[in-house]
A and B are shown apart, each in its own frame.
Chain A
Amino acid sequence: MKNDQHSHHEISLVVRRYLFVFGALLVGTIVTVLASFIPFGIVAVNVAVALFIATVKAFLVAGYFMHLISEKKMIYGILVATVFFFAGLMFLTVWAMRPASIVHIKNVP
């Protein structure tokens, strides 16, 4: 990687950002744990909340710690394709094996 961040000032700004992300990740963890104890009634809501927070944390790690936010298109392209195929694997397999969990059909064996 090119040495494009030479000055100490720039680095200290970046470090401050890292620490902010760190704090956000800790907060996210605590919130996830606490939220799991809230009885929403429907399991799907607990799942959605947990996965949403996890996704936000993931974006923070990937975007800032892994510098994805300043990366060029090439890496994005690879990751978008990967996520698409992963989603395809997950979604299509569940649809094929347990259609009732996706589509509301009565009397599905």
Chain B
Amino acid sequence: MQPVTTEAHAHTVHESHHEELGFWRKYVFSTDHKVIGIQYGITALCFLLFGFGLMMLMRWQMAYPGRPIPLFGPLLEKVLGAVASGGVMSSDLYNSFGAMHGTIMVFLGIVPLAFAAFGNFVVPLQIGAPDMAFPRINMASYQAYVVGGVIMVVSFFIPGGAAQAGWTSYSPLATIIKTQGQTFWIIGMVFLITSSLLGAVNFIATIIQLRAPGMTWMRLPFFVWAQFVTAFILLLAFPPLEAAAVMQLMDKLAGTSFFLPTGLMVSGQPLPISGGGSPLLWQHLFWFLGHPEVYVLILPAMGIVCEIIANNTPKPIWGYKSLVYSALGIGFLSFIVWAHHMYLTGMGTAISTFFQTTTMMISIPSVIILSALLISLWGGSIRFNTPMLFSLAFLPMFGIGGLTGLPLGFNFTDIHLHDTYYVIAHFHYVVAPGTIFALFAGIYFWYPKVTGRLMNEFWGKVHFWLSLLFMNLIFQPMFAQGMAGMLRRMADGGANYSLAKEPGALGALSDSMIHANTAISHAAWLLGLAQIPFILNFFISLKKGRKVPNDNPWESTTLEWQTPTPPPHGNFAKAPVVCRGPYEYSVPGHATDFTPQNEPVNAR
């Protein structure tokens, strides 16, 4: 990023050891947190689009099982061969698309975007630091992410295709499938986990050590707190999955039996293994990461929404302290709830009760955060710009997602709902019109700080309303499908269990439940189309967007808006001195509606 103002330029001359870097060092092998943040952002958005594309293809198979996919069918057949013969998505292909859709969206899309992209660009600026604590490790973590992503994408093209055993990769299925898709998945995950661990160390060290003078813990923007807790979750929850991945790799390549039980039969033949292992062990180690992971997905989003709501009400956030303590509580509790994903594995009643209790407990801080954000709107003079629309929609959407989690958290209701479309609806509500909306909000909000131009408001609103509509049309019916008993991961959309196939069968899926698939699929494709205005807006605004009138177009209080646009290398000429909290909006008697954090206390 070129320094724009003369003040910044003077400073680069001042620091004589900052020579002009060549193209490769400046844009590709950069150690500047802002460049790395943008790199993460662009890469993650590409992966999100790719993962979304996988799902759009799957939805054809669900709506019209056995029919050739228009446009893409012949292409798939050409590239992937027998699994897409005749342009029809086979069950194997459906399974691998399903497994990779989940993997890519979570690990290659949302986490890198929410945590690494937004975190890298914004956090050092918001705390008044010149960069992250370990810039070279920052670069290494992005590179590890790219390597992991490449391995995941390449796995589609190897014989046998990509991993097929769900993003959860349960053993023994994941191990006994003869092809190497799972092997690639495991190795890819090792790189991605390494990337996350390095990033987590960096974020925590940066936030603890590099806060500017006067930036006390309780003056941090909530976004920084959210990223701090997220980093801790990643740091401590990922390693057990890494251990499990290594063990699963050994099961596959070295013939060990970590997760393979004694007497395991495949296709009627006993496997020549030592046995003695346990499939449940994989599940425990996976979900030990898997559950904290969902808080990794939601916390940065809550942070973004908080910043935007404060800015557009414009009022101080209600209950800042409760937000902070709730985030800390979520971080802590998230480590001891994981077996609520495993209620149906035959756990004893005592341990099951323990996990139900902790699961209920963790809903409390989540509700506190949502309530604080909602109450913050009261009495505000709300500015309905695009970031604010997405942030406002986040609240009820996350509310639906969270509340629908409650029946899943109790084991007796989970018996009916586990592994059905109800679960899919629940978590997609939280992640799609939840987190992704917050991420859209963040993109529209911080775009002017990164580029110096504003994205187009009209098309932003079109993007918003269409996305909101179609996301609800996709996921709302799934609650009903799930309660009717439609299971997850069925390549034929449930046709095998339908009344049409077995008239009069008890518990079979009704016509309306099956036909809902078609409506949902259409909504999914329309949602895909609705992203086109966003993609075009994103790129066209780079050149044609309205230029920002000043460095702080949204009139925000936080420190990232007190820098030049875009911020130069080193961010601040010298460390800002923070004198006040993060949300001093509409302070009575103040000349403007916002008071930046580094504005001295006496000057009015």
B208 contacts A96, CB within 8 Å?
A: no
Tell me which residues across on chain B come within 8 A of A95, comparing CB atoms: 348, 350-351, 354
Residues of B near A96 (CB, < 8 A) are 280, 284, 339, 342, 347-348, 351
A19 to B409, CA, bound (A): 54
Is B456's beta carbon under 8 Å from chain A?
no
Chain A residues, Cβ within 8 Å of B284: 93, 96-97
Residue of A nearest to B334 (CB): A85
Tell me if B281 is interfacial: C-beta within 8 Å of chain A: yes
Chain A contact residues: helix, strand, loop or mixed: helix
Question: Is B351's CB under 8 angstroms from A88's CB?
Answer: no
Query: What's the nearest-Cβ distance from chain B to residue A107, in Å?
Result: 13
A92:B339 contact, CB within 8 angstroms: yes
How far, in whole Å, are A95 and B336 apart by their CA atoms in the complex?
13
Interface size class on chain B is: 20 to 34
Do the beta carbons of A89 and B351 come within 8 Å of each other?
A: no
Cβ of B179 < 8 Å from any Cβ of A?
A: no
Shortest beta-carbon contacts, A-B, top 7: A93-B284, A99-B348, A96-B351, A85-B335, A95-B351, A96-B347, A88-B336
Number of A-B contacts (CB under 8 A): 38
User: How far, in Å, is B158 (CB) from chain A's closest CB?
Assistant: 33
A45 to B284, alpha carbons, bound, how many Å?
28
- The distance in angstroms between the C-alpha atoms of A88 and B335, with both chains bound, is 8
| 6 pairs, A vs B, C-beta closer than 8 Å | A81-B332, A92-B336, A93-B281, A96-B339, A96-B347, A97-B284
Contact between B236 and A81, CB atoms less than 8 A apart: yes
Contact of A97 with B278 at beta-carbon distance under 8 Å, contacts A82-B236, A89-B288, A92-B354 already known: yes
Q: How far is the CA of A82 from the CA of B233 in the complex (A)?
A: 11
A21 to chain B, nearest CB (A): 28
Interface string of B258-302 (1 = CB under 8 A from A): 000000000000000000001011001100100000000000000
Q: Is the CB of B208 within 8 A of A99?
A: no
Contact with A along B343-376 (1 / 0, CB 8 A): 0000110110010000000000000000000000
Interface residues of B (CB under 8 A from A): 208, 232, 236, 240, 278, 280-281, 284-285, 288, 332, 335-336, 339, 342, 347-348, 350-351, 354
Nearest CB in chain A to that of B208: its residue: A74
Q: A86-108 vs B: 1/0 string, CB under 8 Å?
A: 00110011011101000100000
Q: What CA separation (Å) do A74 and B332 show in the bound complex?
A: 17
A88: B residues at CB distance < 8 A: 335-336
A74: B residues at CB distance < 8 A: 208
Q: Is the CB of A89 within 8 A of B240?
A: yes
Q: Are B280 and A97 in contact, with the CB atoms below 8 A?
A: yes
- Alpha-carbon separation in the docked complex, A57 to B589 (Å): 63
* A85 partner, pick from B236, B280, B281, B350, beta carbons under 8 A: B236
Q: Which residues of B contact A103 (CB under 8 A)?
A: 350
Distance in Å: Cβ of B561 to nearest Cβ of chain A: 30
CA distance A88 to B333 in the complex (A): 11
A84 vs B218: C-alpha distance in the bound complex, in angstroms?
Answer: 26
Residues of chain A lying within 8 A (CB to CB) of residue B280: 96-97
Q: Select A92's contact among B236, B278, B281, B351, beta carbons within 8 Å.
A: B351
B347 contacts across to A, CB distance below 8 A: 96
- A81 CB to closest chain B CB (Å) equals 7
Are B281 and A97 touching (Cβ within 8 A)? yes
With contact pairs A82-B236, A88-B336 given, residues A99 and B351 touching in the complex (Cβ less than 8 Å): yes
